[in-house]
Amino acid sequence: MVKQTKLDLFWVSITVAVTIFLGATTAIGADKIKTMLLRPGGWLVEWRGNSSGVIDFVFEERGENIVVNINNVALNMACERDVIITSDVVKLDGCYDTGISLFFDPNDQEYPFKGESQKVNYKLKAK
């Protein structure tokens, strides 16, 4: 009985340590994500759904809020949307698409932000 309890405690300790390590390596924090998104050049956004294309995102700080200016040159369309940034996800709506969630991938230097909505996949590349 004592051996089983020590073994259970060992596995609980390992599980907690791995969870803390993975949490520390995947969630980089809202402030760091915000700093990255606010880069002056903006982002080229490759999207793929029923069709595909490339649009521009430029994130801006407006007082306490962050907004994204979306420009789709091919469709001669532009809009501005509010952005929500948490420790591990960026949430926004597009001009026509809603419920977009973008996640930071520290291992991808070319497309550090990737995500999706219900119907479209997105990859952001620094301009």
Which residue has tokens 């596995």? 11
Domains of the chain, earliest start first: 30-126 (2.40.128)
In this prediction, residue 5 carries a pLDDT of 53
Whole-model pTM: value is 0.76
In this prediction, residue 14 carries a pLDDT of 45
Q: Give the list of residues 6+ apart from residue 116 with CB closer than 8 angstroms, or none.
A: 100, 101, 122
For the chain, the 3-state helix, strand and coil shares in percent, each to the nearest 5, are 25, 40, 35
Dihedral sign, CA of 60, 62, 68, 70? negative
Distances (CA, A) of 124 to 3, 28, 59, 105: 52, 17, 12, 11
How sure is the predictor about 74, in pLDDT bands with cuts at 50, 70 and 90?
confident
Tell me what the mean pLDDT of segment 110-127 comes to: 97
Distances (CA, A) of 35 to 28, 39, 66, 94: 11, 7, 11, 21
In this prediction, residue 120 carries a pLDDT of 97
Confidence check: pLDDT of 9 > 70: no
Rounded Cα distance between 127 and 123, Å, is: 13
| Residues 37-61 pLDDT 10s | 999 999 999 999 999 999 999 999 9
How sure is the predictor about 75, in pLDDT bands with cuts at 50, 70 and 90?
confident
Which residue has tokens 């880069």? 39
In this prediction, residue 27 carries a pLDDT of 62
